[in-house]
Amino acid sequence: MAYESTNPYNGKTVKKFDELTDAQLETKIAAAAKTYETWKRTPYAERAAIVAKAAELMHAHVDKFAHLASLEMGKLINEARGEVNFSANILAYYAKNGERFLAPTKLHPTVGTAHMESSPIGVIFCVEPWNFPFYQLARVAGPHMMAGNVVMVKHAGCVPQCAMAFEQLWIDAGAPVGLYTNLLISHQQSDKVIDDTRIKGVALTGSVAAGRSIAARAGKNLKVSSMELGGSDAFIVLEDADLEKTIPWAVWGRMFNAGQTCCAAKRFIVVDEIADKFLEKFKTALSALKPGDPMDEKTTHGPLSTESALVDLLKQVDGAVAHGAKVVMGGKRIDRPGSFMQTTILADVKPDNPAFRDEFFGPVAMFFRVKDEDEAIALANDSDFGLGGSVFTKDVARGKRVASRVETGMMFINNIDWSDAELPFGGIKYSGYGRELGDMGIQEFVNKKLVRESDVPAPVV
């Protein structure tokens, strides 16, 4: 695969990078394995000092990191700054709480004493996507390195400078060589890394296809893995919703990061009583977004990450229309330089339309009318995905009842605010397995060891 920075705002390639040779890759794996032998015995306080320093440096150089994200994948500069700060907050969170999360847990057997203790397992190989080029890295690096593991990362080919900057961050923070390693490698080399006996765990954030491939490879090698895959989250609007509060969340939920978010709002399921009013306000709000240079703070509609991402999305929309979907607005590329897609709403997407089960990774919303709450929940659950979802209603108790009935890993009531280091993130069904962030995120790649003491005679044979 190619590693190159191409600015999606103007299509110009900035810089290309060579993949590692097999010999270079071996040197890096050997260094990581050697570092693990000392890092696993490093006290929490010393680990925390390095992780906290990395957080401090991210906060101090927000604009530098944000600029790279805008340059390489077109993220709006204000959103990029927000991502960098959030990434730094994640690192600081685990530096502060890692030891507490992994403290021994006392058990209560009928005889003797017992406890569970947590210990690291080794080198963790992470495959990460381009859509949040720093956040995706922080949410594996922070917890797993605080747990005493070391991390090797194959980042996406279109954000190599972001990947290199994050690796340099750890060097600047005083990390030993091999604690965090960026790998510019091919898919074939990635398979070899998973097969390597020095690699003890595998984490992926990516597509369902990538998840199937990498989870199968990890499983073949009997290695623990976590998979954060796609989503087609429902945005449920009940008839008593406050549209003045709901519409801004609808726009943000679909258009944040140019719609390139796993847990974005993608299926807008609206009770018929309020559907016309919602749709009209939603169209008006989306129409107000202004495409432009993502480096310009006044721009509210950025490009997609790559030209190929735009082409694929346009094919998806055309395929949906060919199978009976109606274009309510948009549906085409914007006639300007760069990889820009019109804000798009599709309606009349029936269950026999391939789009009904697709994930649209960009500024494309599917709009559905339902007669009532029960039908909204049934439609929300009629999905191969189960990452997140939201429900909007003035009755919070009702919102909680709906949230409990929707089959996902995360549900939000009157918001889609998933950006909190303390909140576990992950899904079910084709959205993957395992959790990141919160106290659960640090538990994914540790050995939960039972230790029992009991002064009792052995059974008679």
| pLDDT digits 0-9 by tens, 150-190 | 999 999 999 999 999 999 999 999 999 999 999 999 999 99
Structure tokens at 149: 């593991």
| Partners of residue 119 on adjacent β-strands | 447
Q: Say how many C-beta atoms besides its own lie within 10 A of residue 298's C-beta.
A: 8
Q: Domain residues of the chain, as ranges?
A: 3-229+431-450, 233-413
Structure tokens at 461: 């044979």
The conformation of residue 351, written as its DSSP 8-state character, comes to: T
Structure tokens at 92: 């600081």
Give pLDDT < 50 ranges for the chain: none
pLDDT of 1 = 62
- Which listed residue (128, 167, 228, 359) is catalytic? 228
pLDDT of 176 = 98
Which residue pairs from 292-296 have beta carbons closer than 8 angstroms and sit at least 24 positions apart in sequence?
Answer: 293/9, 294/9, 294/70, 294/74, 294/75, 294/76, 294/77, 294/80, 295/9, 295/67, 295/70, 295/71, 295/77, 296/77
- Which listed residue (262, 263, 359, 436) is catalytic? 262
* Beta strand 105-107 pairing with 113-120: antiparallel
Active site residue 128: no
3-state secondary structure of 207: coil
CA 411 vs CA 266, 334, 390: distances in Å: 14, 33, 5
Cα-to-chain-centroid distance, residue 183 = 19
CA-CA-CA-CA torsion sign (377, 381, 383, 386): positive
pLDDT of 256 = 98
Write out the E strands in 282-440. Answer: 326-329, 344-347, 364-370, 385-386, 389-392, 412-413, 428-429, 432-433
CATH T-level assignment (fold) for domain 3-229+431-450: Aldehyde Dehydrogenase; Chain A, domain 1 (3.40.605)
* CATH architecture type of domain 233-413: 3-Layer(aba) Sandwich (3.40)
Separation CA 293–CA 86 (nearest Å): 23
Active site residue 262: yes
* Beta strand 446-453 pairing with 412-413: unpaired
